[in-house]
Structure formats: structure tokens, C-alpha cells
Structure 1
Amino acid sequence: MGNITFAWWPLLFLAPLPFIILWLFREAPKQTQSIYNYSLPYMITERETPSRPALWWLKWLVWLLLLLALARPQWLGDATVPITHQGRNMMIAVDLSGSMQIPDMRWNGEQVSRLVALRHLLGQFVTQRKGDQLGLILFADHAYLQAPLTFDTTTVHHYVTQMQQGLVGNQTAIGEAIGLGVKELLKVPAKQRVLILLTDGQNNAGVVDPLQAAKVAKDNHVTIYTIGIGARHFSVPTLFGMQSLNPSQDLDEKLLKQIASMTNGQYFRAASSEQMAQIYKRLDKLEPIKGAKQYYRPKQELYFWPLLIATLLILISPFAQMTLKGRH
């Protein structure tokens, strides 16, 4: 059957507050005025109509209903539902350097930049991470924390879809991104620390050496998965016809492999949107960490009912007051 409880039940003790205030600030009784009628052998005294607050009962009822709403009435079910926490703590570090604007990816049949493809595919990956704590780091000239670790994947997804090249510079500070990711992951248990690093270049900015940052990550049980982004070949029109170029010549795959190997992670190469999607699917299968089994009782908020009734009473109070005055 369930039962009703109040989240902030001490507020209900304020129910008699209007009566207390009325008593403290009550007016002194008015003296009656006497009229001496010289034509009569006695004094005529005016009768005073007893005063009463207009619609006092209605105002107090509104006050009581507002208190009930503030106290947050809740319906609790009888049955307890078991839940098992399965999740990881993942920091995602995204390179926003100038080279992310190179249009060597395809999305829905159109040629798009690396950043556009990344926004779509990483956004899909984030929405599937129900039960995980996710955080987002953006890096270029330096690394910046866009979102700390949170279970609110909707907000993280919003930040991913709003990523813009040039937002934090045009170079690539891989070492700073790793260092900031490790700093955030130190706030959670050691067996659940994962950093996903996405870049299309080499470390050429920042004040932290990537391998030193990777060593700190290893010492603190942070697993780093590195993803190198960029096509292997890209055809561009020239005066002599189409010419094939390597748009990923600046990608430091050796460094990314070292970082992943040092931290017991893995390096992935995303040379196309399809490969990037496959990488996210593989990352999606990372072994989850199971927490202790917990239980909860189904809960439903009921505060809106007294709030709705109080609102209706406030709306009809002017009409009720007019009716009351019309009777006198």
C-alpha cells in the first residue's frame, strides 16, 4: 500500500505561526462612544460591531497548504528494489587544436572536419554511458576542465555538441591534458580510473611532459586509452589533377602508443568515421566495476497537490471577499 512521509517535516511546526503573530500584534479594544440624550433619562451607548479578519480562515488554509508543499510530501512504496552499481569513472580529453578543422572525415555521406565527426560520435558514446561518471577536458594551448566527473551524462553530452575549434587555442598540450585528467580521477576509487585521450597531433604546447604525466597516471592506477584521429590519405584538387596527401603527418602515434602501454591501456587509430565508431564500441565493452548491492524504495513527490490547491484558493479569494462584503 505504501505510506506518506515528509522530507522536511519540521516545517509543519510553523502551522500556528499566523495565530501567534495575530495574538502578538492584536489591537487594543476600542472604547465605545456614549451619546447623552437630554430628552431621555438614560444614556444611549453605541453598539460596536465585533471585528473579524475577512476570510481569515481562507488565508490560514492557504498558509497551511503552502507549508505542506514546502515540507515535500512523498509517497513511499512498500517493496524495496535491488540495484547494483556498475560503472566507471571516465575523463575524456579532447584535442581542439587547429588541425581538427581538416575535412578528411565523412558523416552521412558528406565530407566533414574531424571535429564535426568527433562531436557526433563522441556524443553517441556519452549518451550510452548510463551508470558511469564522466568528465570532459578540452585542450589545445593548455588543458581546461569543461565538466568534472558527474553522472549527469546529459550535461556532458551538451558540452560535447558545443565544442568549437579555437576555443582554447590552436596547439596541442597533451601532457597538460593527461595531468589534469589524473588530478580529477584521484577523487575516485583507484580501480575505476579511466582516461580517454583523443588527439590528431603531437605535443607542442603546455608545461607538462606527456611521458612524465603518463608515469604519474600509472603510479595512481589510471588507465589511459589513446585515440589518434585523422585519415591516412586525403585527395585534394591541384592544377595537375587530384593529389593524394597524408593529413596525419603530424600525428605522434609513437607517443600515443607509449602512453597507452605505460598505463595498461590501448592505442586506437581512427582514420575514418567508421573506425572511430568501432573504437567507441570497443571502449563501450570495458569491464565494469561492480559495487555493493543497494536497495531503494520507490518514491513519488506529492508537493504539487497542496501547491495547486493553494494557488486555486488564492485565485478565488477576491471573489469570496466580494461575496462576503455583499452580505453585510
Structure 2
Amino acid sequence: ALVSIESTLAPGTMEGFVRPALERASRRTVGRDLHLVHCPERLTAGKLLHHLTELPRVLGANDRAALRKGLAFYARFVKAEIHPTDWTTAEVVKTAENAYWDVQIAFANEVALISEELGVDAYHVRELVNTCPYRMMLIPGAGVGGHCIPKDPWLLVSPAVQTKPQLIPTAREVNDFMPRRMARLVEEALAAAGRKIKGARVAVLGFAYRENTDDTRNTPAKPMIQELRRRGADVAIHDPFARSERGYAVLRDVKAALRGADCVAIVTAHDAYRTLDLKALRRGMRHHAIVDGRNVYAGPDVVKMGFVYRGIGKGQF
């Protein structure tokens, strides 16, 4: 029998936990009666079938028979190349993939925070940085979510007792800080609009962690909303896809969310938000402030409409 583990694992889990647990439960021996492989999934919300069949895969096996059977199984539906290796290497590869992405996002976010302090536009900085060959600076934003990126860096560093990693944990701290930075920008925008945050109504647009999906796992919207509430704001949440959860009532009507609002905070770059009639929505608001966590709107255009505008990496405002 072939057993494939696709879940993301901390390095050493296959050898130290999965193998003995499987042998105890099945009363069989891995490598003789059972063929055990580790082929970490590479799926993204909203692109499951495409990524399942089209992306290259890494297949970890600790014996030739398991590798042969594993390759034969995945070749049935994976059209891309399947790269053979051992269990532990496959574990490191998967966690390193997501830790790498997290570090790259943290770099972009830190540049955005520096840009805010220096009064420049981080998105323009990014555009110019990427004119240099071999530079691929990512887009900053209101925070990182999903079921992979927030946890996988910790899985990678967890067994590294002697190394004592610093870069990867620091990147996690930077990205976890961004929702709190959003809450601070809301407070600053409200102050510029002549309103204190205590008692102010803040319309949060976007509850899903990823645009145009309903996936709310580890969404940065939650810690931002918690921080806004801690500061005394009355928060209304809108999302065209995500559903309400305990403590987070999600409205489907964007006009209802913005009615009587003092500030709008954009957390998720849903396509629906890019086509909002801001002039019409402005008429239903009490104060007129926008905090853009995803660069959805052009700041100068929003200011011309009479809004106070703030945003992640938008130092010129």
C-alpha cells in the first residue's frame, strides 16, 4: 500500500512522528509492508484544480520502492515535473517556500513603513526598484493571512535549536504588525478629518484574507478590527464573499456598511471595491476619511473628492 502525506510538516516529522505512528496504527512496517511518501501540496485558494495538476511537485521518499510507487501515482494527474528527494528535504522545501514568501512580503512592508516616515510613495519606490535587473520587490499591504504563510515559517525554524534563526521570526513580527499599523492609520485619518477614534464608526471593507475569495483563515482583518475596537471604534464589516463569524458580523450591502461611517478602511482588494462610486458613498458618511491598505485607489483622486486619505506606504499623504 502507498501512503502519501501532503500536509505541511515541520522538518523531522515524517521520521520522528508519522512513520512510528503509522506503523503502530497499521501494525505494518514502513519500507516493507507500507510505502510512505511526503508530497507537500502547493495549492492556492481559488486555483485548486489548476495548481493540483499544473505545478511541479516535490516527492520525498526514504526507499526506492516507495519512490517508484509515489512517482507512478502522481504522474497520473500531475502534468508538470515531479522532483524526487527524501522525507526531510521535502519537509524543508515546503516550509522554506512559504517562509521565503513571508520574508519577501516583510521586506516590502518594512520599506512601506520607512516610506511613510520619509514622505514618499512605497508603490512608486517598488516600481523603480524593479526596473533594476534581478529585483522583484513584492507589494506591501495591510497584513498576511491564509492557512500557510502565518504558520509555516514557524514550522521551518522550530527544530533549529542550535541555529537560533533571526530573520524568519523577525519577518513574522513585521507582517503581524501591519494590521496594528492599519488601525493607527485609521486613528490618524480620523484626527485629520476632525474626529476622535473613540465612538467613531469605521467601515472595514474586506474580511477575507485574499481578494475575490471567501477564505478568512488567519485574515489580517481580525487583529485590525480587534485593535480598532480596543481604541473605542464602532466597526462595521463588509465583504462580498466572506460570511459572518462569531464576533464578526459581515454585511453584504456596502451602502449599509458605509452609512454614517466616519472612516473607510480597505483590508482586502476585492474587485468590487475598485468600482465603488466614492462620490455617492461619501454623501452617506459623517466624516470623510479613507485608509487604503491595498493600494486600491489613487490617493490624489480620492483627495480631490474631499476625502482625507492615508494608506500603507503612502508617505506623501
What TM-score range do you get, normalising by the shorter chain? Answer: under 0.3
RCO higher in structure (CA 8 A, sep ≥6): 1
Richer in strand (by share): 1
Q: TM-score, normalised by structure 1?
A: 0.25
Q: TM-score, normalised by structure 2?
A: 0.25
